[in-house]
Homo-oligomer: A and B are copies of this chain.
Amino acid sequence: MADTTPTTIRPLPASEVTSWDHTADVVVAGYGIAGVCAAIEAARAGASVLILERTGGWGGAAALAGGFIYLGGGTPLQQALGFDDSPENMAKFLLAALGPGADRDKIVDYCDGSVEHFEWLVSCGVPFREAFWAEPGWEPPHDEGLMYTGGENAAPFNTIADPAPRGHVPQMADKRTGEKGGGYMLMKPLAETAEKLGVGVEYDMRIQRLVVDGDRVVGVIAKRYGQQVAIRADRGVVLATGSFAYQQQMIEGYAPRLIGRPAAAIEEHDGIGIRVAQALGAELAHMDATEVAFFGDPQMLARGILVNGRGQRYIAEDTYPGRIGQATLIQQDNQAYLIIGEAAYEQALTTETSTPFFRQPPTWAAESVAELEADMGLPAGALTSTVEVYNRHAAENADPLLGKKPEWVTPIDGPVAGFDMRGFTAGFTLGGLRTDLDSRVLHVDGAPIAGLFAAGRCTSGICAGGYVSGASLGDGSFYGRRAGIAAAKN
């Protein structure tokens, strides 16, 4: 089907399709984490499956990611490493951490299915090494398989639910070169599993619009090398096209704090899956929610104090750095400075558990906090009073203001360094299509749109305003499977 009509994303009536270029029971748009899991499950359920991928290879953002999958409730890996967890405990934490308005049913469902999902990933060949990385940070420095990735063991969550690490990361083949990171090691066995199951793939295929028969989705129009291609989906279409981090109008209209700072997404994340479904009346959720990375060394942060543009502390510095990023961007207008004593600075540089990511030289070095305060241009007393209050309690190894754990609390005196970390944030979008527990895309009237399924970051998953590392590969894989199962049955 060749066509030169202008591009539109409005649905095309099936009656206007003169011939179909491809046909499958289940058509999956996007060969990232959600797409591959949907394809595997649909194929296992007996459906013929065709994946449409806009780039020249499988992987999506997932293959470039660190690879965390947020799982818990007592996975074999958690158990082997001595951590107690239960679905209820996991849900309690996630409901506290993922923001007001989070989809409670989805979180409970996700927690209940988490152990089975871990086993499923392992059965597909995803490797996890039985080793725990205990340090604050973004990722383990080697090939450890488990880590805290949401501030479970930091204030305020360590008093809300029993802390358990849930960041499961596939064993990396070569962490040093970065070529085979956790995300790659997750995607590779899954793509191989899909291929063994006979899943078809068409690359260089950009989806443009959905094809409908009345209210039912029956296919997709895609573009390949300038030509329109019509793909019939006898049972269902699964949208798994990723976030809208690179669609400028959507960022401005829905998540404007990310203007100019997309990260951990790929340029292909242009929101197309969201938009073609919106054109059919699909409901959205949590479009303003964003993951926010903070480009400060967690080992430095934990040993210092982080202050805002007024010299005030605002977060327990030993928590998940993604929480620091969100608090900094959304609550502190992206203003942050790290203040750290000379001894703690040296310790952070030289500790065996040091992680050199995001390291920078100090912006200011001073003989005293008062001198640093003046050098930074802060009003007299703004920073010195903050440090005085911190030191007063640090002398008793406590942080009643923000609850940093005692192991990281030491008074700041003598020479100090200041790091200008204003604007040190970037991130990707978490909002998208509203889906049910079977990954059916919901219309604004509350009913599912017949024949349309979605998973991954083109949907609103378990996150509302908050985030934990591993939630995206986690709910993307989990609800990707559901999408494949539901579409195959359709």
**Chain A interface residues (CB < 8 Å from chain B):** 8-10, 99-102, 215, 249, 251-254, 256-257, 259, 275, 278-281, 283-288, 310, 312-314, 330-332, 379-382, 385-386, 388-389, 392-393, 400-402, 434, 443-446, 460, 464-465
User: Do the beta carbons of A279 and B445 come within 8 Å of each other?
Assistant: yes
Kindly provide the distance from the CB of A223 to the nearest chain B CB, expressed in whole angstroms: 15
Nearest 5 interchain pairs by C-beta: A101-B256, A288-B288, A379-B400, A253-B285, A385-B385
User: Do the beta carbons of A278 and B287 come within 8 Å of each other?
Assistant: no
A271 to chain B: closest residue by CB: B444
Kindly provide the distance from the CB of A106 to the nearest chain B CB, expressed in whole angstroms: 12
SS class of chain A's interface: helix, strand, loop or mixed? loop
Sample 22 A-B pairs with CB under 8 A, ordered by A number: A9-B444, A9-B445, A10-B215, A101-B253, A102-B256, A253-B284, A256-B465, A278-B281, A279-B444, A284-B287, A287-B287, A287-B288, A288-B288, A310-B312, A331-B331, A331-B332, A379-B400, A380-B392, A381-B388, A381-B389, A381-B392, A385-B389
**Docked pose: A144 CA to B380 CA in angstroms:** 41
User: Do the beta carbons of A284 and B281 come within 8 Å of each other?
Assistant: no
Kindly list chain B residues whose C-beta atoms are within 8 Å of the C-beta of A286: 253-254, 256
A310 to chain B: closest residue by CB: B401
User: Do the beta carbons of B279 and A281 come within 8 Å of each other?
Assistant: yes
Kindly list chain B residues whose C-beta atoms are within 8 Å of the C-beta of A285: 253-254
**Docked pose: A439 CA to B23 CA in angstroms:** 42
User: Do the beta carbons of B259 and A100 come within 8 Å of each other?
Assistant: yes
Known: A281-B281, A379-B389; 10 extra A-B contacts, CB below 8 A, are: A100-B256, A101-B252, A101-B253, A253-B283, A253-B284, A256-B286, A287-B287, A330-B330, A379-B400, A380-B400
Kindly provide the distance from the CB of A276 to the nearest chain B CB, expressed in whole angstroms: 8
**Docked pose: A276 CA to B400 CA in angstroms:** 50
Kindly list chain B residues whose C-beta atoms are within 8 Å of the C-beta of A254: 284-288
**Docked pose: A464 CA to B331 CA in angstroms:** 16
A289 to chain B: closest residue by CB: B288
User: Do the beta carbons of B464 and A279 come within 8 Å of each other?
Assistant: no
**Docked pose: A101 CA to B251 CA in angstroms:** 8
**Docked pose: A389 CA to B332 CA in angstroms:** 20
Kindly list chain B residues whose C-beta atoms are within 8 Å of the C-beta of A101: 251-253, 256, 259
User: Do the beta carbons of A445 and B284 come within 8 Å of each other?
Assistant: no
Kindly provide the distance from the CB of A108 to the nearest chain B CB, expressed in whole angstroms: 16
A276 to chain B: closest residue by CB: B444
**Docked pose: A101 CA to B256 CA in angstroms:** 5
A101 to chain B: closest residue by CB: B256
**Docked pose: A279 CA to B444 CA in angstroms:** 6
Kindly provide the distance from the CB of A308 to the nearest chain B CB, expressed in whole angstroms: 9
User: Do the beta carbons of B310 and A100 come within 8 Å of each other?
Assistant: no
**Docked pose: A257 CA to B382 CA in angstroms:** 30
User: Do the beta carbons of A443 and B10 come within 8 Å of each other?
Assistant: yes
User: Do the beta carbons of B279 and A443 come within 8 Å of each other?
Assistant: yes
Kindly list chain B residues whose C-beta atoms are within 8 Å of the C-beta of A283: 253, 278
Kindly list chain B residues whose C-beta atoms are within 8 Å of the C-beta of A278: 278, 281, 283, 444
Kindly list chain B residues whose C-beta atoms are within 8 Å of the C-beta of A382: 389, 401
A275 to chain B: closest residue by CB: B444
A257 to chain B: closest residue by CB: B100
**Docked pose: A393 CA to B443 CA in angstroms:** 57
Kindly provide the distance from the CB of A130 to the nearest chain B CB, expressed in whole angstroms: 38
Kindly list chain B residues whose C-beta atoms are within 8 Å of the C-beta of A313: 310
Q: Tell me which of A332, A385, A388 has the highest count of chain B C-beta atoms within 10 A of its own C-beta.
A: A385
A252 to chain B: closest residue by CB: B101
Kindly list chain B residues whose C-beta atoms are within 8 Å of the C-beta of A434: 253
A256 to chain B: closest residue by CB: B101
Kindly list chain B residues whose C-beta atoms are within 8 Å of the C-beta of A9: 444-445
Kindly provide the distance from the CB of A8 to the nearest chain B CB, expressed in whole angstroms: 5
**Docked pose: A8 CA to B286 CA in angstroms:** 23
Among the listed B256, B381, B464, which residue makes an inter-chain contact with A256, where contact means beta carbons less than 8 Å apart? B464
**Docked pose: A49 CA to B430 CA in angstroms:** 43
Kindly list chain B residues whose C-beta atoms are within 8 Å of the C-beta of A445: 8-10, 275, 279
**Docked pose: A279 CA to B277 CA in angstroms:** 10
Among the listed B99, B251, B288, B393, which residue makes an inter-chain contact with A380, where contact means beta carbons less than 8 Å apart? B393
Kindly list chain B residues whose C-beta atoms are within 8 Å of the C-beta of A280: 281
Among the listed B10, B257, B288, which residue makes an inter-chain contact with A281, where contact means beta carbons less than 8 Å apart? B10
**Docked pose: A280 CA to B11 CA in angstroms:** 11
**Docked pose: A330 CA to B287 CA in angstroms:** 16
Kindly list chain B residues whose C-beta atoms are within 8 Å of the C-beta of A402: 310
**Docked pose: A386 CA to B288 CA in angstroms:** 33
